[in-house]
Structures are given as structure tokens and as C-alpha cells.
């Protein structure tokens, strides 16, 4: 994968990663003195658009932002909240020409997801203190990254007047006349709502109070719903066709959140995170629990995806989690967990998944779940040195003898 700036530094994992160095500090048990890492793009995730092009969360240059992102710029978003650095940006591959285009974003990127609007807006996580988006229609028309992108800080409407006002910063005490900006480790998963235009995130996976965050692109206001104490935290998540959120819970459960169940006000001085415990529910993952946490499992799921369109064969709107300590996936079907275990290679470790229907008239053979197996050091697993990541298709027969 190429980059826009040939002077882009080599990247060794997450943006701003401080634990990697360009030259190995000592010989590797597997590779000796050989330097095996040379990438610059540092791609994390990709997503198809409706034309079949692939948009990647990938670096296109170094971490210092161009002037239009920073203080003093006349960019509408920079006037509100200037940004100095971004660790990843966006690149796009057109499979028809096999050529890459580069979109220099002021905000960082991690997981891309298309919304349901007429502008074909691409929403991204890994954006730090802001919601970040690309209007791909504008990009296609102009090729101008500055015009095509926007961002906004996460601001709670704590004064309850329905619009963004002067806000108190995260480290400042609440002020009755102001809104409140929130910050932490930023958004991890991004989930555009199928019908109401909002965008949801899992927030503060690494630092800060973990929970689900809702951003309204029209008002630029946010709502935050903290994971209750028994849930501990959340990582990857997705949204179903009804707007219910599903996430991989730190307590060994699949966590759901339904905003429709909230009984109190969704804005105002008390709507700061702990105002809707009734919206949460927990579904235990397969496997034994840790001592003292009997309501959960020792399963350490990384990500959850919702099969909205029955691409797997278990039905529509079925949440499916990576079962990283069960060598496969765990699906919640009619209130029961269904294990999809991958027998080979041993130690199957998925970081993401998606479904595809190739032939809707071919029954189970025409649809399936796709995933990757690899992690950062695939040679530490079955197969040893030389082992490479794999793309894996999983198909579900309606019964064991179906063919």
C-alpha cells in the first residue's frame, strides 16, 4: 500500500506507538537480526462503498497536520476545534484501476463505516476528541480533502437548551450555564444509526469512563451512556436495525444498550453518563467465569458485529462476537449463544468479521461469514516461522447433513 508522502516514517502498529524502534534491539528467536517490518501505511481496517471501492484507515503522511487543520485556519471545523496531529488518515483503492487516492484527514482514523445518508458519508473511529467524517460525494466531485471532511468535539448538552454553547472543558467543574466537553481515549468502534441519522461509538476503551456515545450530525451535540459497574468496560461494537447497540463486554458478556428504554431526560445537568442504567442488558459468553465474576465468562471478546441481513444463516439482526479465547465466534440467537468454532489452524484469532451474500437463491452455499486470522505475530501459532495471516470463510449449514 503506497503513501502520499514518500518521507512518511515507517510505522510499527498503533499511531504514536512508543515501544517499537526502527532497528531491532537484539536478535529475534525467529528472525535473527533480520528487519522484517517495512510498512508506512499502517492500514487498520477497510470498508467497501456502494461502487465497490475500498476505503482504508491508513497513514498517508507523518503525524503533523497541514495548516488547514490548525488554529488560525478558516476551515469551519478548525475554527471550532483545531487539530495539530493525526496518526492515520484515509486512503482509497479503486479495484477497476488498482490505483490509490489519498484523503489527508486532520483527525486520526481506525475503523471506517459508511452512513445511510445521500452524501455517502464515511464515519471513522480513532478520531480522538472529535467525531470525524468525510463527505465522499464532495470528495468525488472536487478531490479536495479539506472541503470533503469535517469534525466536531464531543459536547454534552448539560444546560439543556438543545444547541452547542460555550462549554466547560473535561478538567473543569460543571457550570450550570455551559455545556460540557468530554474526552478520554476517544472512540473505538463507530456505528451509524440505520434510520435517525445519528452516529454511535464505543468510547474510552483504554482510558476514561467506558461507554456508548451518540453524536448528532445536525446539532453537533453528544450523549454519553457509561457502562454500569458490573459491565466493567466495552471494546468493539455494532448497531442493529432497531438501533440497539451491541458490544464486547469486559465482564465476559455481550453487552446491549437500548436508548428507547431510558426513563429520564437525555440531556440536562444530570445526563452525564449514569442516567440510563435501565438501557443495559448482559448475555454471558460461553466458557467458565473468573472467580468472583460468575455472571460473566473468561472469554475475552475483541469485537462484535451485527448480521443485519442474515448473511450467515442464523437470521436477521443477530449479533456475532469474536470469541478470541474460544477459537471462533459466538452468536446470540433467540437469547442463546451459538458457538462457531474454527478447528484449524489452532489458536484461531479474529480481529474483525463481516458477512456476504453471493447468491441469495443458493441457500447456505450462497452466503457466509468472512474473517481474518493472523494477529501481529502469526509465526507464534501453529505452522511456525513462515506462517501468514489468512482470510477465512465460515458457512453455516441448516443441519449437519445439509448439502
Query: Is the pLDDT score of 383 beyond 90?
Result: no
Contact status, residue 94 vs residue 138, Cβ threshold 8 Å: no
- The Cα–Cα gap between 297 and 127 comes to 31
72-92 pLDDT per residue, tens: 999 999 999 999 999 999 999
> Apex CA 189: angle with CA 215 and CA 60, to 5°?
100
Q: What is the pLDDT of residues 156-178, one digit of tens each?
A: 999 999 999 999 999 999 898 99
Asked if residue 374 has pLDDT above 80, the reply is no
Q: Give the closest residue to 169 by CA, choosing from 160, 182, 156, 158.
A: 182
What's the predicted TM-score (pTM) here? 0.95
Q: Which of 189, 198, 175 is nearest to 124 (CA)?
A: 189
Q: Report pLDDT digits (tens) over 178-206.
A: 999 999 999 999 999 999 999 999 999 99
CB 124 within 8 A of CB 111: yes
pLDDT per position as a tens digit, 286-337: 999 999 889 999 999 999 999 999 999 999 999 999 999 999 999 999 999 9
Greatest pairwise CA separation for the chain in angstroms: 67
d(CA 115, CA 305): 16
Tell me how far apart the alpha carbons of residues 71 and 297 are, in angstroms, rounded to a whole number.
47
Amino acid at each position: 500500500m503506497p503513501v502520499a508522502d514518500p518521507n512518511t516514517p515507517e510505522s510499527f502498529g498503533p499511531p504514536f506507538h512508543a515501544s517499537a524502534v526502527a532497528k531491532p534491539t537484539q536478535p529475534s528467536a525467529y528472525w535473527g537480526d533480520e528487519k522484517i517490518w517495512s510498512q508506512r501505511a499502517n492500514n487498520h481496517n477497510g470498508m467497501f462503498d456502494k461502487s465497490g471501492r475500498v476505503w482504508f484507515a491508513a497513514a498517508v503522511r507523518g503525524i503533523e497536520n497541514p495548516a488547514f487543520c490548525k488554529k488560525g485556519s478558516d476551515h469551519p471545523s478548525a475554527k471550532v476545534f483545531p487539530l495539530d496531529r493525526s496518526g492515520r488518515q484515509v486512503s482509497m483503492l479503486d479495484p477497476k484501476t488498482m490505483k490509490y487516492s489519498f484523503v489527508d484527514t486532520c483527525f486520526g482514523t481506525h475503523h471506517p463505516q459508511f452512513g445511510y445518508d445521500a452524501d455517502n458519508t464515511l464515519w471513522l473511529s480513532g478520531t480522538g476528541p472529535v467525531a470525524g467524517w468525510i463527505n465522499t460525494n464532495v470528495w468525488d466531485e472536487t478531490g479536495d480533502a479539506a472541503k470533503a471532511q469535517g469534525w466536531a468535539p464531543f459536547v454534552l448538552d448539560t444546560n439543556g437548551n438543545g444547541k452547542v454553547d460555550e462549554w466547560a472543558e473535561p478538567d473543569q467543574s460543571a457550570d450550570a450555564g455551559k455545556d460540557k466537553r468530554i474526552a478520554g481515549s476517544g472512540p473505538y468502534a463507530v456505528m451509524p444509526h440505520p434510520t435517525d441519522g445519528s452516529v454511535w461509538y464505543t468510547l474510552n476503551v483504554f482510558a476514561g469512563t467506558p461507554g456508548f456515545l451518540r453524536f448528532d450530525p445536525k446539532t453537533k451535540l453528544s450523549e454519553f451512556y457509561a457502562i454500569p459497574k458490573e459491565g466493567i468496560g466495552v471494546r468493539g461494537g455494532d448497531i442493529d436495525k432497531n438501533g440497539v447497540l451491541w458490544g464486547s463486554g469486559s465482564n465476559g458478556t455481550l453487552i446491549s444498550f437500548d436508548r428507547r428504554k431510558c426513563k429520564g431526560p437525555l440531556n440536562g445537568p444530570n445526563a452525564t453518563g449514569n442516567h440510563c442504567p435501565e438501557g443495559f442488558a448482559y448475555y454471558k459468553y460461553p466458557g467458565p467465569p473468573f472467580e468472583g465474576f460468575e455472571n460473566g465468562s473468561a472469554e475475552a471478546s475483541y469485537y462484535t458485529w451485527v448480521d443485519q441481513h442474515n448473511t450467515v444463516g442464523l437470521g436477521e439482526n443477530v449479533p456475532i462476537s469474536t470469541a478470541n479465547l474460544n477459537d471462533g465466534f459466538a452468536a446470540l440467537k433467540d437469547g442463546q449463544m451459538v458457538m462457531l468454532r474454527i478447528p484449524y489452524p489452532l489458536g484461531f484469532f479474529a480481529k474483525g468479521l463481516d458477512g456476504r451474500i453471493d447468491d441469495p437463491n443458493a441457500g447456505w452455499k450462497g452466503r457466509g461469514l468472512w474473517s481474518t486470522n493472523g494477529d501481529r505475530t502469526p509465526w507464534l501459532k501453529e505452522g511456525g516461522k513462515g506462517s501468514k495471516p489468512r482470510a477465512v470463510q465460515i458457512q453455516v449449514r441448516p443441519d449437519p447433513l445439509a448439502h
